[in-house]
Amino acid sequence: MQILRTVHSKVVALILLFLLLVLASFLATYLTVQAHFGDEGIIELVHNQIPQVQQLSWLALSGGNQVEINTALSEIDQTLEGMRATLSQLNTYIPIPGSDDLQSHLNSFDASWGVYRLALDSLSALSLQDASRLQAEQNLRAATLQMFVQIQALSHALESLSNSQHALLLRLQVIFVIMTTLCMFLGYLLIRQRVVKPLSILNIATQRVEQGVLTESLEISGEDEIAQLARSFDQMRAAVLAYQTDLERRIGERTSEILTAFEFSQEIVAQHDINALVQSAIAKSRVLMRAREASLCLVTPDGCSVELASTTSAHAHGKKLVQPVGDNLPDMVISRGQALASQVSSFGCAFLQHTPEDQCLSAPLHVGEQVIGAMCVIRAVDQPFSEEESRAFSLLANSAAIAILNARYEEHARQQAREAAILSERERLASELHDNLAQTLNLVNMKVSQLERQVLPPANQVAQNDVAVVKTNVQTAIEQLRMLASEMASATRLPEDGFLTQLEEKVKAFQAASGVAVDLTGTELPLDRLSALVQSQLLMIISEALTNIQRHAGAGQVGIHFSLDQDSLHAIIADDGKGFRPESAQGDQHLGLRIMHTRAKRSGGSLSLTSAPGAGTRVTVCFPLAAQEPG
């Protein structure tokens, strides 16, 4: 029954069955009608036998012509033969109840006809004068009567057969009507059960899906087209439900990630210390991305390299790692400002070499067009990052970038405030030194002169010499005090013509006063990025160093060299003079060295001195780049 699985095959089978029933009904009706017409012909033939037998018996009894008798016999034989053939043919087309009884009557008729022929032949053989003719005539009359009885019996049998045919036809018609009705009912049930009802269920299911109800499954059994359509629809519903569930889950996850990123960004922005801010950023990015490790690197001031600022990885923790921006990952993320997600080995980042097979998501730290670094997270290779996670991570990275810049600006503002306070205090001290201490010393000098004239006799040369020494020392103190006040006042501002211009003027003045050539190198570096206070103090330190060289070194050559590393600016002032022992640099004669140390320290830098007798002197000044203005 595999061929009847589909609705189409079932409908076609019902239509074919219906057509077969119609054809069978038509054929049965046709054959029955044909048999009925044959029965009427036979009945007519049977009825015609009575006058023919009567005529034949009269001819035989009246002594008629033998030729006429033979002709009549031939006609009756032909009629009987035709009747037998017709009955045999009708019985072949359609078997009718009662045909056996008819055949029995026909056999009896044939036997009576044989007796009648024998009696007729016996009478025909006798002449009219033959004594046995009377007996022969009686036998013929008896045979004739028997023929009449058989003809009547055969006629009744034929009529009974005709009635049976009518009854059979009626039964066949009833059967065909019942079967046709049954076929139509089956067709109705088929259409209702396999087409109308499933389509109604599908229609309701479609309306429920349109209303957003996706949890109700569709139950339609069978293997036909409608059942297959229903299963396909239910699979589609289940797929849509699964997609909707997954979409809602993903939306929930993304919403949670965005909210978490927003909360994290607020926490990050609230940080003011850069180190604490960087630690907070990588810790929160690790939680947000469900990562195993997180790292943050910052672009160095020269813009050519990136330095690992902080990481949760034990392999790189506590190490100072730097790599050029031109490497694969820094070039793609920092130079192009693009967030990337891929396998670690495809990035070629020097900071991530310990996890080559893991998945890495890296996002630039940028505010507008300025990129200050990058942040990346790492997790297992079987957990790739989605686009939504990449967007959430980029949001966190942007928040971290803004916070870092804000922290830098705040630190710069605090540094400027400190510098402004220092400058203000220096101006105040310079003013007090000039207005109070200098006046006091002048007054002391004047009083000493008065005492010299009023008290000391001219003949006391020793006293006169002591007073002269005092006056000289007081005048020297006044000059030094004025020079110190002037230097303190000049240190509070950077000359309008710039650091390099002032430096070149001091070098020219030193060369003119000492006759010693100065080799000045490294001036192409961005020295103007130093703050005003650092630039002014650096000028004072270089000026003091040149003064010391002029006074004490006896040098034949002097060099001033500037250099830049990852986080510091270095200035080196070296000479090939006579040198000295640094540990002996105590007392008033080395006040300049102490002032140089103090200037460097108060400006956020450091100063180191290397010297030995006969080996010259080398002064190295270092200022951290953190002291420069964020850029």
Tokens 């049930």 sit on residue: 189
Asked if residue 491 has pLDDT above 60, the reply is: no
Range of lowest pLDDT (197-206, 309-318, 609-618) = 309-318
In terms of phi and psi (left: phi > 0; alpha: psi -120 to 50; beta: otherwise), the region of 437 is alpha
Asked if residue 146 has pLDDT above 70, the reply is: yes
What is 494-631's CATH number? Answer: 3.30.565.10
Task: Give me the pLDDT at residue 450, please.
Answer: 67
Residues above pLDDT 90, as percent of the chain:
2
**Listed ranges 82-86, 141-145, 165-169; the one with the highest mean pLDDT:** 141-145
Cβ atoms of 485 and 430 within 8 Å: the answer is yes
- Mean predicted confidence (pLDDT) in 71-81: 77
- Mean predicted confidence (pLDDT) in 199-207: 84
C-alpha triplet 301, 302, 306: angle, nearest 5°? 70
pLDDT band at 479 (very low <50, low <70, confident <90, very high): low
pLDDT in tens, 515-569: 888 998 988 877 766 777 788 888 888 888 888 888 888 888 899 999 887 677 8
Task: Give me the pLDDT at residue 91, please.
Answer: 54
Range of lowest pLDDT (64-68, 69-73, 95-99, 547-551) = 95-99
Q: Name which residue leads in pLDDT, 194 or 111.
A: 111
Q: Name which residue leads in pLDDT, 386 or 89.
A: 386
Give exposure, 59-93, as e/b (b: 16+ Cβ within 10 Å): bbbeeeeeeebeebbeebeebbeebeebbeebbee
**Listed ranges 41-55, 392-406, 464-478, 542-556; the one with the highest mean pLDDT:** 542-556
- Mean predicted confidence (pLDDT) in 433-445: 64
d(C-alpha 212, C-alpha 300), whole Å: 56
Q: Provide φ and ψ at 35, rounded to 5°.
A: -65, -40
- Mean predicted confidence (pLDDT) in 293-308: 80
Tokens for 261, please give them: 């990123």
d(C-alpha 38, C-alpha 35), whole Å: 5
Q: Name which residue leads in pLDDT, 538 or 271.
A: 538
Cβ atoms of 297 and 351 within 8 Å: the answer is yes
- The single-letter DSSP state of residue 168 is H
| Cα distances (angstroms) measured from residue 136 to each of 54, 69, 125, 132 | 16, 16, 10, 6
Task: Give me the pLDDT at residue 577, please.
Answer: 87
CA 48 to chain centroid, in Å, comes to 102
Q: Provide φ and ψ at 283, rounded to 5°.
A: -65, -40
Angle between helices 532-548 and 387-432 (to 10 degrees): 50
2-201 CATH, one of 1.20.1420, 3.40.50, 1.10.3860, 1.20.120: 1.20.1420
pLDDT band at 124 (very low <50, low <70, confident <90, very high): confident
Task: Give me the pLDDT at residue 456, please.
Answer: 55
Rg for the chain, CA atoms, rounded: 68
Helix and strand element counts for the chain (H, E): 15, 11
Cβ atoms of 42 and 158 within 8 Å: the answer is yes
Asked if residue 158 has pLDDT above 90, the reply is: no
pLDDT band at 136 (very low <50, low <70, confident <90, very high): confident
**Listed ranges 31-40, 73-82, 207-216, 254-263; the one with the highest mean pLDDT:** 207-216
Strands 606-611 and 359-367, by their bridges, are unpaired
Range of lowest pLDDT (126-130, 357-361, 431-435) = 431-435
- Mean predicted confidence (pLDDT) in 292-307: 81
- The single-letter DSSP state of residue 136 is H
Tell me the whole-structure pTM to 2 decimals.
0.43
pLDDT band at 426 (very low <50, low <70, confident <90, very high): low
Asked if residue 620 has pLDDT above 90, the reply is: yes
**Listed ranges 208-212, 215-219, 339-343; the one with the highest mean pLDDT:** 208-212
Task: Give me the pLDDT at residue 560, please.
Answer: 92
Tokens 């109308």 sit on residue: 196
Cβ atoms of 620 and 571 within 8 Å: the answer is yes
pLDDT band at 588 (very low <50, low <70, confident <90, very high): very low
pLDDT in tens, 344-396: 776 667 777 777 778 888 888 887 777 888 888 888 878 888 877 788 788 88
pLDDT band at 628 (very low <50, low <70, confident <90, very high): very low
d(C-alpha 504, C-alpha 521), whole Å: 11
Q: Name which residue leads in pLDDT, 221 or 307.
A: 307
Task: Give me the pLDDT at residue 561, please.
Answer: 93
The pLDDT mean for the chain works out to 75
- Mean predicted confidence (pLDDT) in 468-477: 71
Burial class (CB in 10 A: 0-12, 13-18, 19+), 270: exposed
Domain positions in the chain are: 2-201, 254-411, 494-631
pLDDT band at 631 (very low <50, low <70, confident <90, very high): very low
| Cα distances (angstroms) measured from residue 621 to each of 265, 465, 509 | 39, 44, 22
Give exposure, 569-604, as e/b (b: 16+ Cβ within 10 Å): bbbbbbbbbbbbeeeeeeeeebebbeebbebbeebb
254-411 CATH, one of 3.40.50.970, 3.30.450.40, 3.40.1190.20, 3.40.50.280: 3.30.450.40
- The residue type found at 324 is P
Task: Give me the pLDDT at residue 60, please.
Answer: 74
Range of lowest pLDDT (278-292, 315-329, 377-391, 544-558) = 315-329
| Cα distances (angstroms) measured from residue 151 to each of 52, 96, 105, 148, 615 | 12, 21, 9, 5, 170
Task: Give me the pLDDT at residue 264, please.
Answer: 62
Task: Give me the pLDDT at residue 194, please.
Answer: 75
